[in-house]
A and B are shown apart, each in its own frame.
Chain A
């Protein structure tokens, strides 16, 4: 087990290095001078030169690269052009809000998705099945920002059930709409996958055996069938983390949610390159970590999987 974890982590190293390099190249080919961007029209040539020297922009590109990677290894992602805030501290400040949003979105999506998927499979071709699957496929096809606006229109502006946008100092009522908005897509995917996996498992011989020996249908469905249908579902939860982070960019923008996604958009609008670099690398690393955790959890769900 330990060597398996180690090997997985070692596999991730070249990928992380690739991510860092791609982001560096992307920011290096940008037209325009960051020093001028920082100072606007105010900067006199001497100040601009000093800023360039501070940022290492006067160095040849390969030296900039080594400096960038070296700083990164020491946990330094640079300083924002916009307000001189440390990129790492901005990320740490904002990550809590994103984590809270994404965590609850995933929980809601998993609970609703799995429940709807099981029910649909058990009552295949019923009205419930058709409507659940119709909602699911629409949920996958509707743009997340539009779903968010629709929810705002109905529940905040229409029925005044929920306050509008904002973080509300952690008040849970402000959490509801962003969580639902972000959770719709994963819930839909999980529901569809759970349904198809359940249908596959339910036609197996051991399910017939379980029924034949007189087990209650509830036990057959939840204990015998669902446990075996769970593996693909867990896999998709892992891949959904990336989608959640992408979705968080738009969801946080609509709901004025002070997370990393909104930080990224603010940085992009201001063309604040160190901050863009930082948020993109950060999200990619989060994604890799999440997938590592999913990889490792297979062994817990499925005892047939051995790590050696």
Chain B
């Protein structure tokens, strides 16, 4: 259900009510704060990072700086090439958020129109689009993205987020479709139809704004899983390529040194992923409660 059923007040105060509910929710606020720190970390990475994330400090500080344990100079230690891990983790936030945002945009661009069309039109259109959705849902998400990315010889980052978007849109489309089915026979839609408005106008201007709440929730929760998938791809060597400071890639590079007691290279980037995904999960859950959305997960 969306805000539809609430007592009739203006849109601004409905949003204000949602914000009040959101603010009372401690986990939601924690999620918001955490997400903001990640975003700020990504934006200001170049001024926050104590070192250049690509710079191999062995040339300036000597060989002792290779795989140096966490210390006051290098809070998260350094990697095999003498690069400062904290700096790389900060820059890694850029990669993760970039993928998260672009892949979400791709999913929305595909998922919203198709879901809207399926829900609004019904009949054969719905059957056909639902069939595509069910087919894509049948694939294990990660393996499918992996296969899409891997068929390209030299996957660039744009291949990665398009591939994730090509799979992730079905989650958005499902939510949009369900909304449109419940809204398409309401009076305000009939009124718009009676006025002879074109279908695209009814869909995008009249129904869509009323269907947005669950889409926002789904997109927020999706950010977390996209970031996790990108990390998994990079870990297996199919995402970001060295020397990109991608969290998944750093874990992959560092894993060989875990057994030698050099744990920091692989562990800190993993904490960054967990922190970021946790932020978006808290945020998504909080938005769902605040916007009063019921979603199947």
A27-B98 Cα distance, complex, nearest whole Å: 28
Is the CB–CB distance between A143 and B274 below 8 Å?
Answer: yes
Contact: A142 with B270, CB < 8 Å?
yes
Query: Which residues of B from 228 to 261 have beta carbons under 8 Å from A?
Result: 228, 231-232, 235-238, 248, 251, 255, 258-259, 261
- Cβ of B144: which chain A residues have Cβ within 8 Å of it? 280
CB-based contact B140/A246 at 8 Å: yes
- Within 8 Å by CB of A145, from B238, B251, B278, lies B251
Residues of A within 8 A of B67 (CB): none
CB distance from B200 to the nearest CB of A (A): 27
B102 interfacial by beta-carbon distance below 8 Å: no
Q: Is the CB of B150 within 8 A of A250?
A: no
**Quick one: which of A19, A142, A145, A273 contacts B138, CB cutoff 8 A?**
A19
Among B42-50, B127-135, B168-176, B181-189, which stretch is in contact with chain A?
B127-135
Please tell me if the beta carbons of A149 and B255 are within 8 angstroms of each other in the complex: yes
| Chain A, 116-147, CB within 8 A of any chain B CB | 137-138, 140-146
List A contacts of B146 (CB < 8 A): 249, 264-265, 268
A264 cross-chain contacts in B, Cβ below 8 A: 143, 146
**Whole-angstrom distance from the CB of B163 to the nearest CB of chain A?**
10
Asked if B151 and A152 make an inter-chain contact with CB atoms under 8 angstroms apart, the answer reads: no
* Stretch of A204-212, A215-223, A282-290, A296-304 lying at the B interface: A282-290
Query: A residues within 8 A CB of B136?
Result: 22
Instruction: Quote the shortest CB–CB distance from B136 to chain A (angstroms).
Output: 7
When chains A and B are docked, how far (Å) is the Cα of A27 from the Cα of B141? 17
Per-residue interface assignment for chain A, residues 150 to 163, with 1 indicating a CB less than 8 Å from any chain B CB and 0 otherwise: 10110001000000
B27 and chain A: residue at smallest CB distance: A137
How far in angstroms is the closest Cβ of chain B from A281?
Answer: 9
Interface residues of B in 72-106 (CB under 8 A from A): none
A31 B135 Cβ-Cβ under 8 A: no
Least distance between B17 CB and chain A CB atoms (Å) = 23
A247 to chain B, nearest CB (A): 8
Check A138/B270 contact, CB under 8 A, given A143-B248, A242-B141, A283-B140: no
A284 and B139 within 8 A (CB): yes
**B131, B132, B151, B235 — which one has the most chain A CB atoms within 10 A of its CB?**
B151
What's the minimum C-beta distance from B164 to chain A, rounded to whole angstroms? 13
| A85 → B minimal CB distance (Å) | 19
Q: Does A271 contact B (CB under 8 A)?
A: yes
Give the residues in chain A near B134, CB-CB below 8 Å: 15, 18
Query: Which of B139, B228, B235 is the one whose CB lies under 8 Å from A19?
Result: B139
Output the nearest chain A residue to B127 by Cβ-Cβ distance. Answer: A14
The verdict on A305 contacting chain B, using a C-beta distance below 8 Å, is no
A164 within 8 A of B: yes
Q: Which of B135, B141, B267 contacts A22 (CB 8 A)?
A: B135
Bound-state CA distance A31–B134 (Å) is 28
Q: A269 on the interface (CB 8 Å rule)?
A: yes
Q: How far is the CA of A121 from the CA of B132 in the complex (A)?
A: 39
Closest to A12 in B: B138
Q: Mark A14-55, 1 if CB is under 8 A from B, else 0.
A: 111011001100110111100000000000000000000000
Chain A: residues with CB nearer than 8 A to chain B? 14-16, 18-19, 22-23, 26-27, 29-32, 137-138, 140-146, 149-150, 152-153, 157, 164, 242-243, 245-247, 249-250, 253-254, 261, 264-265, 268-269, 271, 273, 276, 279-280, 283-284, 287-288
